[in-house]
Structure 1
Amino acid sequence: MQPSPVLQRSIRRLALTTKQGPHNYYKGNRTGAMGEHTKWGGYKVDFNKVRTYVCPDLSDFLLTPFVVTKLKTPKDDFKATETGVPTDGKEYLKRWKEDGANP
């Protein structure tokens, strides 16, 4: 079964997948080679090619993640808090600032 000629033209413009290519086609994911294969079937890693990520110094960083450890999570989304209203976004932000959020 083949697609109609109109559909075949649109399929030709799409990116080649492993199912459309030759039987030994491997698309890969653009990571690059981190070393080379040996003649005995092993793989030798070249550490000059290995990606390393350097984290900057965050000791005096002013922003904090949007997580507070002191705030208790409500057991039921529709349960009223101490103020008598269900928990909503404004209530959460207010309690988050009261419980030690950075300015």
Structure 2
Amino acid sequence: MQPSPILQRAIKRLALTTKQGPHNYYKGNRTGAMGSHTKYGGYKIDWEKVRTYMCPDLTDFELTPFVTRRIEKRKDEFGSGGPMDGKEYLRKWKAEGGNI
């Protein structure tokens, strides 16, 4: 059973999936290898291929974290909604200096 001619043209333009390729086809996720396999079954990492991410300097960054560091963990103090109430959490967060 084959797809119709119109569908055959559309399939040629689509990305190849693992079901359409050969039985040992592995698509991967474009990450690349960070080393090589040794002849003894191990793996040797090439540290020049390892990705490193640089974080920018955030000292004068204007945005604040969603959870303020000044909120204390209290087990005895909850609003009407209980410990999982979102409105009570946001009320406490704003009272402790959080800004949206």
TM-score by length of structure 2 reads 0.65
- C-alpha separation in 2, matches of 1:73 and 1:61: 33
The answer for unaligned runs of 5 or more in structure 1 is: 77-86
What value does the CA root-mean-square deviation take over the aligned residues?
A: 3.0
The answer for unaligned runs of 5 or more in structure 2 is: 73-77
Spell out the pairing of 1:1-103 with structure 2 (5 A cutoff): 1-68=1-68, 69=71, 75=81, 97-101=94-98
- C-alpha separation in 2, matches of 1:32 and 1:100: 45
Q: Is the 8 A contact 1:36 1:46 kept in 2?
A: yes
- C-alpha separation in 2, matches of 1:18 and 1:7: 19
Residue 32 of structure 1 deviates from its aligned partner by 0.9
- C-alpha separation in 2, matches of 1:20 and 1:6: 18
Which deviations, in whole Å up to 9, do the C-alpha atoms of 1:40-60 show, x marking residues without a partner? 121100111111112223233
The 1:44–1:95 alpha-carbon spacing in structure 2 relative to 1, beyond 3 Å, is closer
- C-alpha separation in 2, matches of 1:3 and 1:26: 24
Residue 96 of structure 1 deviates from its aligned partner by 5.4
Residue 63 of structure 1 deviates from its aligned partner by 1.3
Identity %: 69
Residue 34 of structure 1 deviates from its aligned partner by 0.2
TM-score by length of structure 1 reads 0.64
